[in-house]
Amino acid sequence: MRSKATAIKKPAKPRLQAHDSSRSLANPDRVLKAFAQCMKEGDHEAAREILAASLRQMNKAKLARVYDIPRRTAYNLLQKRSMPGLDLIAKVCHAIHSEYSVSR
């Protein structure tokens, strides 16, 4: 007698959990610590991406008005069109710290 072939069940794929990145990016200590770690390791691409991700959450008109970061410059940083200078990096870090420290 032949035994019935039993169906082998595939293990369930792990599901991705919902993650609200705006909450992580609204923590200036976490953002600036990650940025500093990337700079310490010499990973300028990751450092730029951290700043860009945080900038995506911010009001570009307010950046221009309050922090003297032109809207076009902010969008260029988001789209990797130019290499930001140290003056722009300092302004962005200041804006991140100021904006998110107030809102906490």
In this prediction, residues 56-79 reach a mean pLDDT of 90
Residue 68 binned pLDDT confidence (cut-offs 50, 70, 90): very high
> Confidence class of residue 38 from pLDDT cuts 50, 70 and 90?
very high
Return the structure tokens found at 46. Answer: 């990751």
Distance CA 26, CA 91 (A): 17
| Residue 43 pLDDT grade (very low, low, confident, very high; cuts 50, 70, 90) | very high
What is the model's pLDDT at position 64?
Answer: 92
Mean pLDDT of 5-14: 73
